[in-house]
Amino acid sequence: MRQSPSNSQPLIMDINPESAVAEAYRAIRTRIAFPTDGKELKVIMITSTKKGEGKSSTAANIAISIAQTGKKVVLIDADMRRPALHQMFGAINHTGLANFLANLSVEPGEIVRSMHIENLYFVPSGLTPSNPAELLTMTRMDELLHYLKDVYDVIIIDTPPALSVSDAQIVAAKSDGVVVVVEYGKVNRSNAKKVSFYLNQVNAKLLGVVLNKVKRKGLHVYQ
């Protein structure tokens, strides 16, 4: 997949859609929209090997990029341990995914929020639970995805790093494809192999790897 430089803004697809960085995200979007096997990708998970590699900003920009094509996109913050997406969008995080998974009285539509970006919707992580992995294994998560698939064209899910906790593996098993974000020049080959192994264990489809934090001189975009 294409690369995004180290000095890119978190929501570059929104604030500067004509930049070279935005073009790189559009290249990623194309890869997702037109997979080599021709199968539709409805649920896409974004993860990383470790924290700090930029998975959340990548998830946000991919979601915005797809929404800009006219498709209805819902972005889910399933990193209930260290949520970051609500800060990027300036959203309140009192009610979200964790609240729905843990409370039968909360309806799916109650946790989905419309954004200032047309066609983009957002499900924040909600209040921090003590058992995020257990919540993700519940049938409530399957019910939520079933509901969202009927309403939205594409579902993007941001999860914790794949090597830190089991959350990513659980979500990967429910997804149509996985994108792994790694920091350029700092990725550990052993860790990359472990992520691939963990994804294979749940029969997840690896769509590709995004090299993040690439210096601008290393970014080549057709103009």
Per-residue pLDDT tens digits for 22-52: 898 999 998 887 776 667 899 999 999 988 8
Q: pLDDT tens digit string along 193-221?
A: 899 999 999 999 999 888 876 655 544 43
Q: Which domain holds residue 113?
A: 3-218
Has residue 223 been placed in a domain? Answer: no
Q: Is the dihedral of CA 98, 202, 51, 206 positive or negative?
A: negative
Residue 106 maps to which CATH number? 3.40.50.300
Lookup result for tokens 């079933």: 146
Cβ neighbours around 180 below 10 Å, total:
26
Q: For the chain, what's the residue count?
A: 223
**Is 36 part of a structural domain of the chain?**
yes
| Count of structural domains within the chain | 1
Mean pLDDT is lowest, of 5-9, 74-78, 160-164, 212-216, for 5-9
43 located within any domain: yes
Could you give the strand order of the β-sheet that contains 120-123, starting from the edge strand earlier in sequence?
3-5, 206-214, 177-183, 43-48, 154-158, 73-77, 120-123, 113-114
Residue 122 resides in a domain: yes
Supply the pTM of this predicted model: 0.89
DSSP letters, 160-187, are S-TTT-SHHHHHHTT-SEEEEEEETTT-
Quote the pLDDT of residue 5: 39
